Structures are given as C-alpha cells and as structure tokens.
C-alpha cells in the first residue's frame, strides 16, 4: 500500500496533479483568437492562477498570471471566483502556440495544473464554432452553430459536469438538441433556458473540443443594460461634442488673434510709410526756401555796388 501511494505521489510530481479541469485538444485557425476556460477546486478560490507555455509542466514558461499587471497583447487572463473558473485568451495564434498548461499556485506543495493542446492550422479547423460567446434569455431558446470536418460522435458537455450525446438529452432541466444542418455543419440548441444554464460548455467530436460560453439574462436585465449603455453612449457623445465645440472656439480665437495682429502690423507699416512720404515734400520745400534765402543774401551786395556806381557816373 505504501508503495502504491509512493507511485501516485511520483506520478503527480511528474505530470502535475489534476485539481484543474480544462479542454484536452482544440483546433484553431492561424491568426485567430481563442478563449480557454480552466475550472479549479474551491480550495484555490483565492490562489494565484496562471497560464504556462510548454509541453512539460516543470519547464514551461509563464505566459500570464492573475496577480501581475497585464501588459501582454497576446495573452489575457480573468478569474471568476464565484464560478471557480479562470479564463485565458490567446490572440494571433501561430503553429508555435501548441502546448499550454492551466495552473493554480499551491502554497502547500507543487502547483496544480492541467495540460491542453492547440492544433493551429492554416486550413479549416477540425471543429470550430461561429461564435464562442453566446447570449440567451431566460425561458427562451438559443442555437449555436458548429463546423466539423470529421464524422464522429458529438457530445455537448458542461465544463467539469454532465454530457449529452447526439441527438438530444436533458442537462440541468434544459433540453439539448444536436442537429446536423449540412454535410459538415451542425447546431446545438438549448431550449427553456434558466439562469443557471449560463456558464462554460464543451462541444466534443472525437479527441477535439471547442469551448463555448453562454450568458443567460432576463429581459429586464438586458433592458437596464441597454438603457445604461445608451446613457453612457449619450454622455460620451455629449462629452465629445463639448470637446469639439471647445476645440472650435479655441481655433477661432487663435484665428481672430492672428488676423488682429496682422491688421495692426499692417496699419503700423502703412502709417509709417505715409509719414515718410509726407516728410519728403516738406524737406524739399525747406531746401528750396533755404536756397532762395541764400541767393537773396548773396545777391544784395552786388545790387548795392551797382547803385553806387551809377550815382558816381
């Protein structure tokens, strides 16, 4: 018995323990984004969660953590402690984005985590969904569209919970119908939605899975949210309008100042030019007057001499 527990402990040290539940294998087209849910136990509600990149958990590298400021444009992470699910989102995926681990920090021993594999392809994915995030209303139906490149048994499962196989079944009081709509297309319809119907699901086809998140609301919640969003949008538009008016006023003020300064400078230059032009004739007149005075002054003695001579004769 002791040897048995030793083997279990050794295996858990080599592969990581399994207190985290997530997908196993997902097919995704290169360049696209994908969100992966990771369900954890209640004992890890307040623990740090993180995404680790690499095929081996002991040598994988941190991609993003919940207790660090998120600066990465490629990865983001959020933690829903009520549902005990943290979600990692990966963007602009390439064929190098293949091996990942969902981890929670364990203060009493090795971190707990679960491995998942991404099959990034340039062609159509093996199993894909039209929209990964779906919204439904209490008491109504919602249909989710999938594309499947392989013919295999289809399942609709709650993350970490029960499954419904093709063609139909019940899950938490909600009827699930899996219906093929084409050669490679099918829909999963959930009828009679309840508030508790919301959460993360996995659609499975063979070894491939595709996670889908369903949000369920009451009509009043949607209306309130719509009103709030409309109000916020209106306030933002009003704010933008006020900013636009302020910017226009500032531009007009600057334009008026420029025109005023230009006009004042033009008037000053014009006045200076006029004064200069008026000063030129006055100077000429003064020079002429001075010349005449000079002539009169120089000519008077000559006339006096002539007068004396004539008398002598």
27 and 88 fall within a common domain: yes
Diameter of the chain measured on Cα atoms = 173
141 and 115 fall within a common domain: no
CATH code, 40: 2.60.40.10
78 and 161 fall within a common domain: no
Query: Is residue 175 included in any domain, yes or no?
Result: yes
Q: What is the reported pLDDT for 287?
A: 52
**At a CB cut-off of 8 Å and minimum separation 6, what does 197 contact?**
136, 172, 174, 190, 214, 216
120 and 31 fall within a common domain: yes
Q: What is the reported pLDDT for 312?
A: 35
Q: What is the reported pLDDT for 221?
A: 59
Q: What is the reported pLDDT for 276?
A: 60
Gap between the Cα atoms of 9 and 310, Å rounded: 156
118 and 183 fall within a common domain: no
Please check whether residue 134 is in contact with residue 213, taking contact to mean a CB–CB distance below 8 angstroms.
yes
Number of H helices, E strands in the chain: 2, 19
49 and 86 fall within a common domain: yes
Please check whether residue 191 is in contact with residue 141, taking contact to mean a CB–CB distance below 8 angstroms.
yes
Q: What is the reported pLDDT for 286?
A: 52
Secondary structure letter of residue 226 according to DSSP: H
Per-residue pLDDT of the chain (313 residues; tens, 9 = 90+): 333 333 333 344 444 445 899 999 999 999 999 999 999 999 999 999 999 999 998 899 999 999 988 778 999 999 999 999 999 999 999 999 999 999 999 988 899 999 999 999 999 999 999 999 999 999 999 999 999 988 678 999 999 999 999 899 999 889 999 998 888 899 999 999 999 999 999 999 989 999 999 999 997 755 544 434 443 444 444 444 454 456 667 777 777 878 877 878 877 777 776 666 555 555 545 554 555 544 444 444 444 443 333 333 2
111 and 165 fall within a common domain: no
* CA torsion through residues 6, 7, 8, 14, sign: positive
Q: What is the reported pLDDT for 246?
A: 60
Domain count, the chain: 2
**For the whole prediction, is pTM greater than 0.95?**
no
- Give 75: exposed, middle or buried? Use CB within 10 Å, 0-12, 13-18, 19+: buried
Q: Considering only CA atoms, which of 60, 61, 91 is closest in space to residue 73?
A: 91
- Give 66: exposed, middle or buried? Use CB within 10 Å, 0-12, 13-18, 19+: middle
Q: What is the reported pLDDT for 222?
A: 58
185 and 175 fall within a common domain: yes
Query: Is residue 301 included in any domain, yes or no?
Result: no
Please check whether residue 33 is in contact with residue 131, taking contact to mean a CB–CB distance below 8 angstroms.
no
101 and 171 fall within a common domain: no
Q: What is the reported pLDDT for 16?
A: 42
Domain that holds residue 61: 15-124
Q: Counting every residue, how long is the chain?
A: 313
């Amino acid at each position: 018995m002791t040897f048995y527990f030793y083997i279990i402990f050794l295996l858990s040290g080599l592969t990581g323990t399994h207190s985290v539940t997530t997908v196993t294998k997902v097919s995704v087209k290169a360049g696209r984004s994908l969100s992966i849910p990771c369900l954890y136990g209640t004992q890890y509600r307040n623990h740090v969660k993180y995404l680790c990149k690499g095929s081996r958990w002991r040598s994988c590298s941190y991609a993003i953590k919940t207790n660090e400021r998120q600066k990465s444009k490629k990865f983001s992470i959020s933690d829903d402690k009520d549902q005990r699910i943290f979600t990692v989102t990966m963007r602009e995926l390439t064929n190098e984005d293949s091996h990942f681990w969902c981890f929670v920090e364990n203060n009493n021993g090795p971190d707990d985590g679960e491995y998942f594999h991404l099959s990034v392809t340039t062609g159509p994915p093996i199993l894909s969904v039209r929209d990964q995030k779906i919204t439904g209303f209490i008491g109504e139906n919602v249909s989710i569209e999938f594309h499947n490149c392989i013919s295999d048994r289809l399942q609709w499962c709650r993350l970490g919970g029960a499954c419904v196989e093709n063609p139909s079944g019940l899950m938490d009081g909600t009827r699930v119908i899996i219906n093929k709509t084409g050669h490679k297309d099918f829909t999963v319809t959930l009828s009679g939605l309840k508030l508790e119907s919301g959460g993360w699901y996995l659609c499975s086809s063979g070894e491939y899975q595709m996670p889908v998140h369903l949000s369920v609301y009451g009509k009043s919640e949607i209306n309130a949210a719509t009103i709030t969003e409309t109000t916020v949008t209106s306030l933002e538009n009003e704010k933008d309008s006020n900013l636009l008016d302020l910017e226009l006023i500032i531009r007009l003020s600057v334009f008026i100042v420029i025109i005023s300064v230009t006009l004042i400078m033009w008037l000053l230059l014009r006045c200076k030019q006029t004064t200069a032009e008026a000063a030129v004739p006055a100077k000429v007149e003064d020079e002429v007057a001075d010349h005449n005075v000079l002539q009169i002054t120089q000519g008077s003695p000559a006339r006096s001499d002539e007068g004396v001579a004539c008398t002598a004769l």
